[in-house]
Amino acid sequence: MRDSYQKFFEHFKIDFSDIIEFGIEIDTIYPDPKKVKNEWIELINSIENNEDVYIRGYGRDAHGTAMYQELYKILLNNENIKKDASNNDKPTRLLQNITNYSKTIKKDSLNKERINNYQVSHIFGRTKKPFLFTAPWNIVWKSKLLDPLTGHESRGENTNKYKKAFLEKSSKMYSEYIYEYNQFVKKYFLNDNLEKAFIQMSINNSNMNEKTFNKFKIDAINELKPIEYSKMK
C-alpha cells in the first residue's frame, strides 16, 4: 500500500518518532491540570442544576441535535442543553481563558500570547456530550499541521502510533478528571438508564422515522461510553 505520509517522511528522511515527540511533547498546548479544577466543578454544577451547558450539533446541518437535547432532558433533568453557535465557540473561549494563549488578543488579554495555525481539538471527542464538550481537560491547542494525525482524516500505522501516544499522555495528565467523569457516566448513562430513556423518547415521538432513531441510538450509546483510559497507562 502506498501511504502519502510515509512517502513524505521517507523523502525528507524524517524519523516518525521525532514527529511524535515534537507534536505531543513540544507543540501541543495542554491546559495545566492543576488550574482546570474550578471550571470542571462549575460545568458539573451547571449540568446537574438545569443551567445552560453546550454540545456540538448532531446530524446533517445539526438537524438531529434536538434528539440529544431530549435525551439529556430525560437522563439529566436538564432542559438547557444548547447547541454551540459555531460548534467550537465555547471550547475556544474556554481554552483562551485557561491558557496563556489566544487567537485574538483583546484589550483585556494583555497577558496572553497570540498564536497562529493552532486549532482547538478535543482529546477524547464525545463532543455531543455536555460533560465533555466544554470539559477544560478535554481540549487542547493543536498544530493545524499535525491535527489530522489524531482525527478521522488519516489512517495507517503512523497515525495509529501518534494517536496512541497522544491518548496515553493525555490520560496520564488528566487521570483524576477522567476518573471523575467516568463516575458520572455510571451515575447517569449506564445500567438500564439509557434504554429507559430511549423507550421514553420513542413514546414521546411516535411519528419519528425508525431508521433515523435507530441510528441515533447507536451513535448515542457510543457517545455516552466511559473513557477506557486505564488501558492506555
Tens-digit pLDDT profile for residues 180-223 = 999 999 999 987 999 999 999 999 988 889 999 999 999 999 99
Lowest-confidence region among 31-35, 162-166, 229-233: 229-233
Mean predicted confidence (pLDDT) in 106-131:
86
232, pLDDT greater than 80: no
Q: In this structure, are strands 139-143 and 118-122 parallel, antiparallel, or unpaired?
A: antiparallel
Q: How confident is the model at residue 151 (pLDDT cuts 50, 70, 90)?
A: confident
Please tell me the distance from the alpha carbon of residue 28 to that of residue 221, in angstroms, as a whole number: 30
Burial of 112 (0-12, 13-18, 19+ CB in 10 A): middle
Please tell me the distance from the alpha carbon of residue 166 to that of residue 125, in angstroms, as a whole number: 13
107, pLDDT greater than 70: no
Residue labelled with grid coordinates 447517569: 188
Mean predicted confidence (pLDDT) in 75-104:
94
Per-residue HEC secondary structure of the chain comes to CCCHHHHHHHHCCCCHHHHHHHHHHHHCECCCHHHCHHHHHHHHHHHHCCCCEEECCCCHHHCCHHHHHHHHHHHCCCCCEEECCCCCHHHHHHHHHHCCEECCCCCCCCCCEECCCEEEEECCCCCCCHHHHCCCCCEEEEECCCHHHHCCCCCCHHHHHHHHHHHHHHHHHCHHHHHHHHHHHHHHCCCCHHHHHHHHHHHHCCCCCHHHHHHHHHHHHHHCCCCCHHHHC
The alpha carbon torsion through 216, 58, 167, 135 (nearest 10 deg) reads: -120
Is the distance from CB of 33 to CB of 172 less than 8 angstroms? no
Q: How confident is the model at residue 104 (pLDDT cuts 50, 70, 90)?
A: confident
Polymer length of the chain: 233
Is the distance from CB of 78 to CB of 50 less than 8 angstroms? yes
What global pTM score does this model have? 0.90
Mean predicted confidence (pLDDT) in 37-55:
98
Is the distance from CB of 54 to CB of 83 less than 8 angstroms? yes
